[in-house]
Structure 1
Amino acid sequence: MVKIMKGKIFVISAPSGAGKTTLCKRLAKKLPALFYSVSYTTRKRRPGEKEGIDYYFISQKEFEKKIKKKEFAEWAEVYDNCYGTSAKFLKESVSKNKKIVLSLDQQGALQIKKKYPKITSLIAILPPSLEDLRKRLKKRGETQKEIKKRTSVSSREIKFFKEKYDYKIVNKDLDDSLERLKEIINSATNNTRIKTDS
């Protein structure tokens, strides 16, 4: 007999600086029944980030060992840093019918969708404009060179998200975007579909 998976996976992606991390943190407070996967990364810890809460910060060598041991459900290299999701965490959570939120780039999102196509919803958080994105990145303390690089990548990402993702939210207002995100998750959990931003 085949076991039917009732768990749900919500993959949230966004161009750098679009507000994904802030939205995910606020969503965790609003919907505490969701389980949040903490990714592994080789990037340096930013001020205020906590080990095991924001990420598991590991060396490139440790990351490569985990790849060889097939410990990641997905992994990707983004802006010269590696990010990966624990295969064990995901498999156990899905088998226990949990609702899991993953904060991933498009590469990782597609890997998860391929492994769990029937239970995965891809949600893109989009900036109102590239100019707005530039301002957010500048406010975050990025250099002009980094801002130029990230906005160039972001314009391609936005096009990809609009074509491939199940749901899109234009993050003009944080409170409105959070409500839209909650609606999407509740709708997908109940196997219904709602219209989102294009």
Structure 2
Amino acid sequence: MNKVYALIGPPASGKTSIQKELVQYGIPEILSHTTRKPRPDEQHGGHYYFVSKEEFQKTEIIERVEYSGNLYGLSKAEVLNKVNQHPISTVAVETQGLNQLKKLLAHRVESIFIMIDYDTVISRMLDRGDSHELINRRIEYANSTGEFNNWQTANYVVKNTGSLEVAVRQILAIVGKLTPLSKIV
């Protein structure tokens, strides 16, 4: 049975960075659609599906979020395509997206909460150049939607407070792509 592992957690917890690393291990990611313009290092179909607002509105979206006037969302077609073609895939989503994935795929979705402390969230957002206004909005939104507390209902919890590599290896063990050292010794 093919599965989707949904990476959930607060902003700047490392969901996207972890997901990009997992792709290097052959685990495909489910890409979101967005109406924002691509950054210089981003490509259509490699990072997001960059679409116009009109195209976005025509697409059957199962999760929809707005940040800074831009729409982001998961298309039903993209999710079903990845699930049908790959035994394991990952997606970085918020609570609403996880709930919609569970409605669509039921028991084929498992959640992995990426745990990070509040101070590190702020520090990472500052390091990546987010404005204080944006940080405040993202933190308020995360608090109002419970993004910091989703660990309580997640299938798995992974701490991402130090090494990205350690967090990735923990997830590889969870999805069955790596045997944990504790099982070898």
TM-score, normalised on structure 1?
0.79
Aligned with residue 60 of structure 1, among 20, 29, 53: 53
Work out the CA distance in 2 between the residues paired with 1:43 and 1:51: 11
Alignment of 1:37-52 (within 5 A): 37-52=30-45
Aligned residue for 2:174?
A: 184
The question of 1:18 aligning with 2:13 is answered yes
- Residue type of the partner of 1:176? V
Aligned residue for 2:2?
A: 7
Q: Which has the higher mean CA deviation after the structures are superposed, 97-106 or 17-26?
A: 97-106
- Residue type of the partner of 1:121? E
Deviation at 1:86, TM superposition (A): 3.0
RMSD: 1.9
Work out the CA distance in 2 between the residues paired with 1:52 and 1:105: 21
Work out the CA distance in 2 between the residues paired with 1:181 and 1:116: 21
Do 2:29 and 2:91's aligned partners in 1 also have CA atoms closer than 8 Å? yes
Segments of structure 2 that go 5 or more residues without pairing to the other structure are 178-185
1:173-197 C-alpha deviation (Å, 9 max, x unpaired): 212111111111118xxxxxxxxxx
- The percent of aligned pairs where both chains have the same amino acid is 27
- Residue type of the partner of 2:137? K
Do 2:7 and 2:91's aligned partners in 1 also have CA atoms closer than 8 Å? yes
1:63-105 C-alpha deviation (Å, 9 max, x unpaired): 1111xxxx33x12123243222232333244344632211222
The question of 1:108 aligning with 2:97 is answered yes
3-state SS, counterpart of residue 186 of structure 1: coil
1:121-179 C-alpha deviation (Å, 9 max, x unpaired): 0112121x2111111000111001111122223343111x1232211212112121111
Work out the CA distance in 2 between the residues paired with 1:131 and 1:95: 39
Do 1:75 and 1:82's aligned partners in 2 also have CA atoms closer than 8 Å? no
3-state SS, counterpart of residue 106 of structure 2: coil
TM-score, normalised on structure 2?
0.84
Aligned residue for 1:78?
A: 66
Do 1:7 and 1:97's aligned partners in 2 also have CA atoms closer than 8 Å? yes
C-alpha change, 1:89 and 1:151, in structure 2 (3 Å) is closer
